[in-house]
Structure 1
Amino acid sequence: LGTDALADVTLVDLETATPAWAELPATDPDPRALGLTSRHLAYVIYTSGSTGTPKGALNEHRAIINRLIWMQGAYGLNATDVVLQKTPFGFDVSAWEFFWTLLEGATLVLALPGAHKDPAALVDLIIGERITTAHFVPSMLVSFMDTKGVDHCTSLRRLLCSGEALPAASVHKVRRLLPWTGLHNLYGPTEAAIDVTAWSCPTEFDGAVVPIGRPIANTRVYLLDGDGGPVPFGAVGELYIG
């Protein structure tokens, strides 16, 4: 760098006896003293999502915490697990990849930028790093399951899918090539803190349609008609989340 460029660079000397932060408290401030509650925002993610109108989806701390606590109860991550982080942070799945892993003391492996589009690279990474837990959008799962060597991903304990409808053919292929791996189908709009329903594939699955499952903890879903009334069993309706 030239002299002009260095003039704008702030240097931190870790050997200095009294660094700039030496007088700052060693603990976080009390959020209650700052007036913060679980209703304050945890993040905003830009999406066109369910309405087709671009917007920033606002999610509160209580929503993401509820989602993470439910996820741990459902899938039981522990310190021996290795989670693959490959979702760009502009998508809400990245929130559980980051925070679920850190909350439970597991290992987080960050894929190289663009790796979420390269199934061969993902197969090598999963094998090399002994990944136990990974997320796939169903269309990417199709490519992943067609990749040479996928049956050598013996460390995989959990495959989680969301973002699109999961084809039954993909479920059958996972069951055939990765029979030791749990497969879970989740559904939810960005506005509702990642996922609101979940379904775990049984060991034997011969269905033609993959369900989105049942509501997660502290969540309800309703199928309503155009007037806001519940539709009869088996009828088509609009999905409402509460």
Structure 2
Amino acid sequence: IPDCSATPTTSRCGPTTFVAQGADAAFDAATYEIWGPLAVGARMVVIDKDTMLDPVALTGALTRHGITTLVLTTAVLNQVVAAQPDAFRTLRHLLFGGEAVNPDRVAQALAAGPPQRLIHCYGPTEATSFATWHLVEGVAEHGTVPIGRPVVNTSVHVLDERLNPVPAGVVGELFIGGPGVARGYLARPALTAERFLPDIFATAPGERLYRTG
């Protein structure tokens, strides 16, 4: 799993790191929650689904088990912050992503007692698990939360319809490259050919770019 030891938190992980494992095994976030800690000698703590979806119960579990690293979808983050704004105050790292961010909820979490590092992650399933990250230290009024820069061993490119890089501020399509990119879709060769292209920026042969759409 190429990116598990190269995510924004694993360089700071070790035996005193407790990573919550709450995602279903079919969800790509579980790849990070399971293999991420095992790859760097950290610990994994399994938290059941009902607890993960109950803000009060989750807050208690984080404290009781000494959780230091937690991954949430943006929707669950919003739900928890609405009910328990200071739920994440004991964490070292909180990673969230999966859909457009509600800046008001993020600002609320930062004001109420944030984790040591609040990290907004972006990465489609085809780029298992995270492709970019942004350390959130504040939210400007009427602002947005960026998806940030690529994680280690990953590249991102904003390209036009001819696969040329576009200048800053110009609309383009996001492409992701690196060893975390999947090989394609099972038994769907036409869709694979449409979405997974040769990486024209790579130095090694056989590398692919994923067209995010």
Same fold (TM over 0.5): yes
Q: Which residue of 2 aligns with 1:229?
A: 164
1:131 aligns with 2:67: yes
Question: Following the alignment from structure 1 to structure 2, what is the Cα–Cα distance between the partners of residues 138 and 153?
Answer: 14
1:84 matches 2:8: no
Q: CA deviation at 1:121?
A: 1.9
Contact 1:127 1:153 (C-alpha < 8 Å) held by counterparts: no
Higher relative contact order (CA 8 A, sep 6+): 2
Alpha-carbon distance change, 180 to 122 in structure 1, aligned in 2, over 3 angstroms: closer
SS of residue matched to 2:157 = strand
Residue pair 1:184, 1:200 contacting (<8 A) in 2 also: yes
- Does residue 94 in structure 1 map to residue 57 in structure 2? no
Unaligned runs of 5+ in 1: 1-63
User: RMSD across aligned C-alpha pairs, in angstroms?
Assistant: 2.0
> Structure 1 pair 73/101, CA: closer, same or farther in 2 (3 Å)?
closer
SS state at 2:77 partner: helix
Give the alignment's TM-score, normalised by structure 2. 0.75
Percent identity between matched residues is 33
Structure 1 residues 100 and 74, CA, compared in 2 at 3 Å: closer, same or farther? closer
TM-superposed deviation, 1:199: 0.7
Q: Which has the larger radius of gyration?
A: 1
Shift of 1:136: 1.0
Spell out, residue by residue over 1:188-219, the C-alpha distance to the aligned partner (whole angstroms, 9 max, x if none). Answer: 111112111111112x4425110000111222
8 Å CA contact 2:95, 2:118 repeated in 1: yes
Paired residues, number: 176
Which amino acid is 2:60 matched to? D
Partner of 1:113: 49
Query: SS in structure 2 opposite 1:131?
Result: coil
1:206 matched residue in structure 2? 140
8 Å contact kept, 1:127–1:155: yes
2:7 pairs with one of 65, 71, 92: 71
Q: Which residue identity is paired with 2:170?
A: A
Consecutive unaligned residues in structure 2, runs of 5 or more: 178-213
- Alpha-carbon deviation of 1:94? 0.5
Deviations 1:139-163 (A, max 9, x none): 1101111224x52654211110121
